[in-house]
Amino acid sequence: MDDIVRQAMAKWPNVPDCYGWLGLDARGNWYMRDDRVQAAGAFDSGVPGAKGSLLKHEKLIDFIQRNYAADAQGRWFFQNGPQRVYVELDATPWIWRIDDDGTVRAHSGELVTVQRCLLDELGRVYLQTERGLGLVHTQDVARVAERVEAGDWSPEQEPAASLPGRYGYVRSPQRDRPAQGKSP
């Protein structure tokens, strides 16, 4: 976490949490979601326009990713100064990219080590790492097949619906937010 964020948290400790305003899609892209977008539907609803505006500013994306973490309930958030901005997840809290040499990186660029390989009923591939569970980017599924053929990974079947509970993450903190302290 950035020092400036820690300082802001200490200076303003009682800033209310924010829900529904930020989303991470299944390709590792960040989306900003204003009131109008949120009214159109849930982030993962598939409703046209409900994802919001794709963030393209590299320094903002880097700032979000440096200050991205999970709370004790498995809700992922971006600590924006003193305010915790909970993230709506299209799939998982991490999106993995696989380099030509088989190295696995998070959507944030961090190197990770694969512990397990999972395959859901729709053929989506997930990797469990020391950072948690993540979905493999669709452009890298062929590289997973190469690792499986080489005997490096052995995919285990796992229903997609069981993943959040089993691996301890919440896809929509907005839907599951506490009754008290709701923010706009």
Task: Evaluate if residue 72 carries a pLDDT over 90.
Answer: yes
Count up the domains in the chain and report the number. Answer: 2
CA distances from 121 to 7, 47, 157 (A): 45, 23, 8
C-alpha distances in Å from residue 22, one per residue of 14, 38, 89, 135: 20, 10, 9, 19
Residue 183 lies in a domain: no
Q: Report whether pLDDT(16) > 90.
A: no
Domain extent, residue 158, equals 94-167
Q: Are residues 82 and 107 in the same domain?
A: no
pLDDT of residue 54: 97
Residue 73 parent element (H or E): none
- Statement to judge: residues 81 and 99 lie in one domain: no
- Looking at the chain, the whole-number percentage of residues with pLDDT higher than 90 is 82
C-alpha 124 chain-centroid distance: 16
Residue 182 covered by a domain? no
Q: Is residue 181 predicted with pLDDT exceeding 60?
A: no
> Domain holding 83: CATH number?
3.10.540.10
Q: Which residue has the higher pLDDT, 49 or 8?
A: 49
**How far from 103 is each of 112, 113, 130, CA to CA, in Å?**
8, 8, 14
pLDDT at position 114, please? Answer: 97
Q: Could you tell me if 82 and 2 are in contact, meaning their C-beta atoms sit under 8 angstroms apart?
A: no
Per-residue model confidence as pLDDT tens digits over 104-159: 999 999 999 999 999 999 999 999 999 999 999 999 999 999 999 999 999 999 99
Take residue 140 and report the two structure tokens written for it.
Answer: 């890298």
Show the CA angle centred on residue 121, arms to residues 161 and 176, nearest 5°: 15
Please list, in sequence order, all residues whose beta carbon lies within 8 angstroms of the beta carbon of residue 101, skipping any fewer than 6 positions away: none
- Using the predicted structure, report yes or no on whether residue 184 has a pLDDT greater than 90: no
Give 23-37 pLDDT, tens digit per residue: 999 999 999 999 999
pLDDT of residue 140: 97
Q: What percent of the chain has pLDDT over 70?
A: 89
- Give every strand in the sheet of 114-119, ordered side by side: 111-112, 104-106, 94-98, 132-136, 125-129, 114-119, 156-157
pLDDT at 58 over 70: yes
Q: Same structural domain for residues 162 and 143?
A: yes
Does residue 128 belong to any structural domain of this protein?
yes
